[in-house]
Structures are given as C-alpha cells and as structure tokens.
A and B are shown apart, each in its own frame.
Chain A
Amino acid sequence: MSLIGYRRDDAEVDPPYLYPDYVATRTRAPKRPLVPLPHTLSEITGPVYGHEDVGELDHDLTRQHDGEPAGERMILHGRVVDGDKRPVRNTLIELWQANSAGRYRHEVDAHPAPLDPNFSGAGRCLTDDEGHYRFITVKPGAYPWRNHPNAWRAAHIHLSLFGTAFATRLVTQMYFPGDPLFFQDPIFLAVREERHRRRLISEFDLDNTVPEWALAYRFDIVLRGREATPMEA
C-alpha cells in the first residue's frame, strides 16, 4: 500500500512544549525527545463529520438564548486551506471564548466579571466546499490570570480543527489586531518568530462588516500540506 504522508513543517512554527514564562509548561512539558512517528494509515485517517453533526444555528453564538448577548457583535470568518492552498472541505471547527466582559461560562473561571445569561460562548460549524467558515459572536473581553503578577490574556477566541487526518489536528487561538496586551502574554509570545505570531492575529475586514449591525474579522487558517511523494507502507 502506498500512502502520502503530511509535511512536518509545523515544527518550525509551533511553540515549544517548554516555555518557562508560561508557568504551567514547567511541569507539563515532556523532557525526553519526541519519537518521530511515521505516517501510517492510522495517522493519515481521522474522524469525519457531516452536516448531521452540526445544527443550523450552531455557528451563531448570538442566537442561542432568549435574548441577545451584551457586547460588540462581530462576524468571524475565513478560509481553511492546506499548505498547498487547497481548500479543506467539510471539516469541523469548534470554537469557544469568554463573553464581552472577559468571563467564561465555566466553573473554574473565578474572574469577578459578570456572566451573561444570553451567552454560552461555544459554537461549531463545517467548512464549505471552498474551505470557508463563518461564525457570528460578540468580541471577547480580556481577562486576568495568575501566571505572573498583573497578568492579562490578550483577547482571543479558541478554535479547534480536525482537517483531513489525525496528523492535521490543530487547536489554536485567534487574536485581534493591535491588542495592547500582546507584549506580556506568554501564550502568544511562545510562538517564537514574529512572522508566525502574526498568523494568529485576525484582520479587520471592512468589506464583510454588515452595515449598522456587526463588524467583521477575517482569520484564515492553514493546516499542514501533504508530502509530494508517497511512502511505501
């Protein structure tokens, strides 16, 4: 059987496991070198989702309750492509975030900011045939955490993607342009090169705003591309 594996070019863009400024990595990063896993059938396959797995309003976080959530309404959209610019179709994107006050609807979030009865902060959608996705939500607030004195997370939205295979799984965070908190956020700064950090920052997208209704941000996502040549498996 001849299989085509995935490129391992994420190694140069991803943050390291151990990044001491992000304190939790100190006891959770493995110390032994990782073993390079050949891409076998187990890694070039992965979970497949269909439209039956996603509800019609799952992408709209502003319509999950009786009323509308407080905050700045926004459209988050973009395209998911692989490293060869091919659209990644019908892939599941899961999203979660804080509300506009910077509070998660989660039992371990102790930030004394108000919960919003009209905002759960989770959504999901499938990409279309061109790899496009679109969510409607509110802009999340920044929030404090206890990583270091007076630490604040830059405002962000968590995104989880499967892609086409076990080997393409990605969980990332999307940030907002011009955030003044970047310089002290070790999760953002753990991506070592500035040109790769820029890839985590969405773009304000005037063309896709809806006049008198919502601002828009564009966030394109690149999953790993495939190797050019098959391996014998």
Chain B
Amino acid sequence: MSLSPTPSQTVGPFFHIGLPAPATTELVSPDHAGAVRIVGVVFDGNGEPVSDALLEIWQANSAGRYSHPEDPRDEIPREHGFKGFGRCATDAEGRFEFVTVKPGPVPGPDSRMQAPHIDVSVFARGLLKRLVTRVYFPDEAKANDADPVLSMIRDPEVRATLVAREEDGALRFDIHLQGERETAFFSV
C-alpha cells in the first residue's frame, strides 16, 4: 500500500530567511559567452506587483544535458560548474532577474524533441502550493510550434504567455497569477 504525500503549505511572507543560499540568481556569470538575462514582474489578479514571491528555475545546459544522474545521455557533455538551478525572490516592485544560458533541446513525450525551455516554480504568500510554468524562447519559433507541451495549449493567446519577448537586450517574462493575462500554469 502506497503512502499519500505530505500536503503542501504556503511559503508565507517570511521565506526569505529560510530559502537563500546555496541557490543563486546567476547560473552563469554575466560575461559568460551566450549569457542571457531573463527579467520579469509577477502580478496578482488586480494587476498589482507581487513583492513576496519566490521563483525557482530548473534547466538543461546549453547542449541540452541536465546535471542529474537520471539524464542518461552520456554523449552530451556536462558543463563543469553549471547546475541548472536558480532561485530569485521578487523585489518591492515584483521584479525578478536571472542570468543563464539558453538550454539545448531535450527529448519529450513520444520521442519528439522539446523546444528549449526552462521549468519555473512560483511560490508566494497566498499560494498554498507552488505554481509551475515554463519559459520558452522567442528566437525558436519553429521549435516552439512543434513543441509537444506547448501544443497541448489550444488557445494561441494562452500559449503565447509562455514565450519570453526580447526587450532591451534581455528576455522579458512576466507572470500573471490571475486575470485576463493569466499565465499558463501546469499541474506537474
């Protein structure tokens, strides 16, 4: 007989004291070749910025390899020092920022390749359980169109909430927790 999981609870407003290091907002140094800045604002259903949210990102390296023992593809090299995990709390204006690299493609359902993407967890006061979304890249239109996960979202406007847009040399990815521009969220 299997055990049912321990229920989730909110991180509350004081998570900053417990969820800092060893994570970082810079997965690579800003002067690393191919470094990209991903910036955004988290908004609530009233369109107000959320100043007490925490984002965590998880991604493969630029060649598409995960730094994890269950990625069996030894033919794709790991990159020394690249763990693929980042964490950033939003500031008073709801802003967050990561510096990372665009991940390479990784396999998805039915042996179809997935477009480059970053998995994102959103935690906040008022979220009794994390929300999960994904960041896709605007310069990958063809791969995005063929992506097996993006294709599960029928409404093109909703699908578009997962594709970052280029803005001032960075990638902008706002997260709307609720409302007309609500971001597409996944159950994992």
Contacts and interface: CB of A to CB of B under 8 A. Distances in A.
Interface stretch (A69-77, A100-108, A209-217): A100-108
Contact of B178 (A29, A38, A165): A29
Interface in B13-36: 13-20, 22-23
Contacts of A1: 72-73, 107, 111
A104 B16 CA distance: 11
A96 B15 contact: yes
Interface in A2-27: 3, 7-17, 19, 22, 24-27
B5 A224 contact: yes
Interface residues of B, number: 77
Nearest to A48: B68
Contacts of A106: 13-14, 16-17
A187 B127 CA distance: 10
B15 A31 contact: no
A27 B50 CA distance: 10
B172 interface: no
A42 B14 contact: no
Contacts of A12: 4
Interface residues of A, number: 87
Contacts of A171: 8-11, 123, 130
A85 interface: yes
A24 B67 contact: no
Given A48-B67, A222-B3, A233 B85 contact: no
Contacts of B185: 30, 32, 34-35
B5 A222 contact: yes
A66 interface: no
A83 B18 contact: no
Contacts of A200: 6-7, 9
Given A1-B72, A1-B111, A25-B126, A160 B18 contact: yes
Interface in B49-74: 50, 52, 56, 58-60, 66-73
B15 A170 contact: no
Contacts of B7: 10, 13-15, 172, 191, 196-197, 199-200
B128 interface: yes
A30 B182 contact: yes
A167 B72 CA distance: 18
A42 B109 CA distance: 11
26 contacts: A1-B73, A10-B8, A12-B4, A14-B8, A17-B128, A22-B126, A27-B178, A30-B131, A30-B178, A31-B182, A34-B187, A37-B186, A42-B58, A42-B66, A45-B58, A46-B68, A47-B23, A49-B22, A94-B19, A106-B13, A109-B14, A167-B188, A170-B5, A172-B7, A200-B6, A231-B109
